A = this chain, B = another copy of it.
Amino acid sequence: MCEPLEIEDFGVQPMEDASPPKWHLAHTTWFFETFVLKPFVAGYRPVNDQFEHLFNSYYNGVGEPFPRPRRGFLSRPTVAEILAYRQRVDADVQRLLDSLADDGGPAVQQSNGAVRDGSREDVLSRVVLGVHHGQQHQELLLTDLKYNFGHNPLFPCYGQAAPPEQAPDPLVYIENGGGARQVGACAAGSAFCFDNELPRHEVLVHPFRLANRLVTNGEYLAFMNDNGYQQPHLWLSEGWAHQQQQGWAAPLYWRRRDGEWFEYRLDGLHPLRLDLPVVHVSAFEAFAYAGWAGARLPTEFEWEAAAQGSEPDGNFVEAGYYHPGACRSEGGRTGQLDQLYGDVWQWTASSYAPYPGYRPLPGTLGEYNGKFMSSQLVLRGASCATPRSHARESYRNFFYPPDRWQFSGIRLAQDV
Chain A residues near B (Cβ < 8 Å): 6-12, 14, 50, 53-54, 58, 60-61, 66, 70, 72-79, 148-149, 151-154, 156, 180, 201-204, 206, 232-233, 235-240, 283-284, 287, 349-351, 353-354, 356-357, 366-367, 371-375, 401, 415
Contacts and interface: CB of A to CB of B under 8 A. Distances in A.
Contact of A357 (B74, B78, B357, B415): B415
Contact of A374 (B149, B202, B238): B238
Contacts of A203: 204
Assembly stoichiometry (copies): 4
B371 A237 contact: yes
A58 B233 contact: no
Contact of A373 (B7, B10, B236): B236
Contact of A152 (B10, B74, B148, B232): B74
Given A204-B203, A233-B61, A73 B8 contact: no
A75 B152 contact: yes
Contacts of A153: 50, 53-54, 66
Contacts of A287: 374
A287 B153 CA distance: 35
Nearest to A401: B374
A156 B76 contact: yes
A238 B72 CA distance: 22
A8 B10 contact: yes
Given A153-B66, A235-B371, A374-B238, A8 B79 contact: yes
A233 B12 contact: no
Contacts of A73: 12, 14, 148, 151-152
Nearest to A375: B375
A280 to B, nearest CB: 18
Given A8-B78, A9-B75, A236-B374, 18 more contacts: A6-B76, A6-B78, A8-B11, A8-B76, A9-B76, A60-B240, A66-B153, A70-B151, A76-B149, A76-B154, A76-B156, A236-B372, A236-B373, A237-B371, A237-B372, A238-B372, A239-B374, A287-B374
